[in-house]
Amino acid sequence: MQVYYFFILLYFTILFTHQTEICEETKSEIVKLCQNIWHIDSEIMEALKLNNETLTSTQLLIKMSGYNSVLREVSKRARIHKTLVYKYCQTIVDLGLPRYFQVAVDDDFLQKCLNFTEEQKREIYNIRQIAVELWTDFHKTLGIQ
Q: What is the pLDDT of residues 62-102, one digit of tens each?
A: 888 888 888 888 888 888 888 888 887 777 777 666 666 65
Residue 46 CB coordination number (10 Å): 13
Q: If you average pLDDT over every residue of the chain, what do you get?
A: 73
Q: Can you tell me the distance from the alpha carbon of 67 to that of 28, in angstroms, rounded to the nearest whole number?
A: 19
| pLDDT at residue number 129 | 82
Q: What is the mean pLDDT of residues 123-143?
A: 82
Q: Which of the four pLDDT bands, split at 50, 70 and 90, describes residue 123?
A: confident
- Do the Cβ atoms of 91 and 34 come closer than 8 Å? yes
Residues 6+ apart with CB under 8 A from 144: 93
Question: What's the pLDDT score for residue 84?
Answer: 80
AA identity, residue 6:
F
pLDDT value of residue 19: 47
pTM of the model: 0.68
pLDDT of 49 strictly over 60: yes
Using pLDDT thresholds of 50, 70 and 90, give the confidence band for residue 36.
confident
With 50 as the cut, is the pLDDT of residue 15 above it?
no
pLDDT tier, 122 (very low <50, low <70, confident <90, very high otherwise): confident
- Mean of the pLDDT values across residues 7-24? 54
Q: How far is CA 119 from the centre of its chain?
A: 26
